[in-house]
């Protein structure tokens, strides 16, 4: 069950519980990071509805959220008994949030769907006409101007992904080569061009989209040795091919996930990890569509960058899960690397960043 279907399921239960029209029920993304103990996702729909339904709910007023959530949970259970839907468990927490636990088959299906990153994250195929906007950053003068171009590209690509028309075809395979670090020689005259020559286009686009302010200070950073406006004189960690460079880490995580799939086809054993390392990855994958939707609606590319970083970090923890963990406490997730690769590749593409496929 993906987030879109879970939202539709809870919406239908709310319609049944209170006799509402579908238009009267607000759209609320279910989120894994809102879930209570043992749940895969939770939705804040009941608290959103409670105020409007006060006359239909029993007193006291302070309990309206819980009452609304309980009614919706009852309808969900009825729908499961009727065979219309399936899930493992539904319960209400103290916030009035509705928590849902998926079945093992639904969790596996979620990972399978996420492998098709464009369709999973945006809910449709990318088979429309047109081209994806991308600016020639080296044509900018100051580094700040190149930053504005990169952020405008990311916003335009996010809006195109969620716009009224089907988006053009999306990402395909890429290598580690960079047009400014490894391509034909260019005369790097302007400060922006020299910065690109020092750190490369992919690192530059991640650096330019990672921070919040539209007009940052020249000395501002987004982390240790990560200048918001990297220059040829001070590229910081953006010039390094190490984990200190968020762009490298994202692209490496994608390349590793794709390589794991290739190794599996060549006969390598399936990687196993404990639930403590598997569940966070699955949870972040579940939250991908809502994160992308939020980044597009708010036109804030940093939301997408930070999400991709969290996913790459969780994936790193999963793939390095200690072998000392007892075998009975581990599970194999053969489709998890494909899901991570699909989401990372799509997210990087929307930032204008390439995703290498080999280590």
Q: Which residues face 6 on adjacent strands?
A: none
Judge whether residue 332 has pLDDT over 60. yes
pTM, two decimal places: 0.94
Tell me what the mean pLDDT of segment 255-262 comes to.
95
Q: What are the angstrom distances between the C-alpha of 127 and each of 131, 163, 168?
A: 11, 13, 5
pLDDT at 63: 72
pLDDT band at 54 (very low <50, low <70, confident <90, very high): low
Residues sharing a CB contact under 8 Å with residue 262, sequence separation 6 or more, in sequence order: none
Q: Kindly state the DSSP code that residue 22 receives in the 8-state scheme.
A: G
Report the C-alpha gap between 21 and 43 in whole angstroms: 19
- The pLDDT mean for the chain works out to 92
Per-residue pLDDT tens over the stretch 142-183: 999 999 999 999 999 999 999 999 999 999 889 999 988 887
DSSP string covering 178-213: -TTTTSS-----SHHHHHHHHH-HHHHHHHHHHSS-
Per-residue pLDDT tens over the stretch 14-23: 999 998 888 8
Alpha carbon 102 to chain centroid distance? 20
Residue with tokens 């006799």: 19
pLDDT at 359: 85
Please, are residues 344 and 115 in contact by the beta-carbon 8 Å criterion? no
Residue 100's CB is within 10 A of a number of other CB atoms, namely 23
299: which 2 tokens? 């036109």
Question: Which stretch of 68-72, 245-249, 309-313, 336-340 has the lowest confidence by average pLDDT?
Answer: 68-72
DSSP string covering 37-93: TT-SEEE-HHHHHHTTTGGGSPSPGGGHHHHHHHHHHHHHHHHHHTTS---SEEEE-
Q: 3-class secondary structure for 227-256?
A: ECCCCCCCCHHHHCCCCCCHHHHHHHHHHH
Please, are residues 42 and 31 in contact by the beta-carbon 8 Å criterion? yes
Judge whether residue 84 has pLDDT over 60. yes
Residue 61's CB is within 10 A of a number of other CB atoms, namely 11
Judge whether residue 351 has pLDDT over 60. yes
Judge whether residue 65 has pLDDT over 90. no
pLDDT at 3: 97
Report the C-alpha gap between 341 and 357 in whole angstroms: 9
Burial (0-12, 13-18, 19+ Cβ within 10 Å), 108 = middle
Judge whether residue 272 has pLDDT over 90. no
First CA to last CA distance, the chain = 32
Residue with tokens 């980044």: 295
- Give the CA dihedral 83, 87, 89, 92, nearest 10 degrees: -90
pLDDT at 76: 95
Judge whether residue 329 has pLDDT over 60. no
pLDDT at 43: 97
Residues sharing a CB contact under 8 Å with residue 300, sequence separation 6 or more, in sequence order: 212, 294
pLDDT at 253: 98
pLDDT band at 111 (very low <50, low <70, confident <90, very high): very high
11-50 in b/e form (b: 16+ CB < 10 A) is bbbbbbbbebeeeebeebbbbbebbbeebbbbbbbbbbbb
Report the C-alpha gap between 237 and 225 in whole angstroms: 6
Judge whether residue 328 has pLDDT over 90. no
Tell me what the mean pLDDT of segment 53-59 comes to.
65
């Amino acid at each position: 069950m993906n987030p879109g279907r879970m939202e539709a399921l809870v919406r239908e239960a709310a319609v049944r519980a209170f006799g509402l029209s579908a238009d009267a029920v607000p759209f609320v993304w279910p989120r894994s990071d809102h879930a209570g103990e043992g749940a895969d996702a939770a939705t804040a729909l009941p608290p959103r509805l409670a105020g409007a339904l006060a006359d239909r709910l029993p007193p006291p007023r302070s309990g309206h959220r819980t009452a609304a959530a309980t009614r919706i949970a009852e309808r969900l259970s009825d729908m499961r008994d009727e065979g219309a839907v399936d899930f493992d468990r539904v319960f209400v927490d103290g916030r009035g949030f509705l928590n849902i636990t998926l079945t093992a088959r639904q969790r596996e299906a979620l990972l399978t769907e996420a492998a098709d990153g464009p369709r999973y994250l945006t809910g449709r195929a990318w088979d429309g006409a047109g081209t994806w906007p991308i600016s020639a950053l080296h044509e900018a003068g100051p580094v700040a101007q190149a930053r504005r171009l990169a952020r405008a590209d990311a916003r335009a690509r996010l809006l195109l992904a969620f716009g009224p028309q089907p988006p053009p075809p999306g990402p395909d395979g890429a290598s580690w080569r960079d047009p400014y670090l490894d391509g034909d020689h260019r005369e790097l005259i302007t400060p922006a061009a020299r910065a690109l020559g020092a750190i490369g286009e992919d690192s530059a686009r991640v650096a330019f989209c990672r921070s919040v302010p539209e007009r940052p200070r020249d000395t501002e950073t987004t982390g240790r040795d990560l200048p918001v406006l990297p220059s040829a004189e001070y590229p910081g960690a953006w010039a390094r091919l190490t984990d200190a460079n968020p762009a490298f880490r994202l692209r490496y995580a994608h390349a590793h996930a794709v390589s794991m799939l290739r190794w599996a086809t060549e006969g390598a054993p399936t990687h196993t990890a404990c639930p403590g390392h598997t569940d966070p990855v699955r949870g972040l994958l579940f939250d991908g569509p809502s994160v992308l939707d939020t980044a597009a609606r708010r036109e804030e590319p940093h939301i997408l960058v930070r999400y991709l970083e969290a996913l790459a970090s969780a994936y790193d923890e999963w793939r390095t899960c200690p072998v000392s963990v007892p075998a009975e406490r581990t599970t194999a997730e053969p489709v998890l690397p494909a899901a991570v690769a699909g989401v990372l590749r799509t997210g990087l593409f929307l930032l204008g960043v390439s995703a290498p496929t080999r280590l």
